[in-house]
Amino acid sequence: MRAHMWKTAALGLAFGIAASAPAFAHHSGAMFDSSKRVKLEGTIKSFEWTNPHSRIWFLADTVDGKKQPAPVLWAIETGSPGQLTRMGWTKRTLNPGDKVSMAVAPLRSGEPAGLGIRPQLLNGKPFPVKAGKEDLERPNLDVPLQ
């Protein structure tokens, strides 16, 4: 009986480890080019306050200082709600229609998406967010905007 319990526990542990592998793979940032920054100016379409990463849908009127013929929809990945909360965000920090200027680490593929690095302006005022521990430990955070 005791051997059966150990086998069951070992099997459960093996399944747990196998099931967690996709979660570890998910957290790779290899799709983002952390050596580059793209400056976006435009309007928030929506802000999804969800795990494992919140997402900003952003209509960019200006990309790296170049006015676009029509707004370009960007998908901007951010931290988890927990990380954002520690940085002073709430689920109401960004609202549809807000005018925002922000920097992103773009996708390597060139598609209009990236990792949100640092919002600079919200409706013409400095963005009301403090730097969190994750911000300070993140490599290449201070690559200047190009």
Q: What is the pLDDT of residues 9-24, one digit of tens each?
A: 443 433 444 444 444 4
Q: What is the pLDDT of residues 25-48, one digit of tens each?
A: 455 678 899 899 999 999 999 999
Q: Which residue has the tokens 């969190």?
A: 132
Q: Which class is domain 38-137?
A: mainly beta
What's this model's pTM, rounded to 2 decimal places? Answer: 0.70
Distance CA 46, CA 43 (A): 9
Q: Identify the burial level of 28 via C-beta atoms within 10 angstroms of its C-beta, where 0-12 means exposed, 13-18 middle and 19 or more buried.
A: exposed
Q: What is the pLDDT of residues 110-140, one digit of tens each?
A: 999 999 877 887 888 877 656 544 443 343 3
Find, among 89, 96, 92, 68, the residue nearest to 116 by Cα. Answer: 89
Find, among 8, 25, 30, 3, the residue nearest to 105 by Cα. Answer: 30
CA atoms within 13 A on the CB side of 2: 0
DSSP state of 145: P
Domain ranges across the chain: 38-137
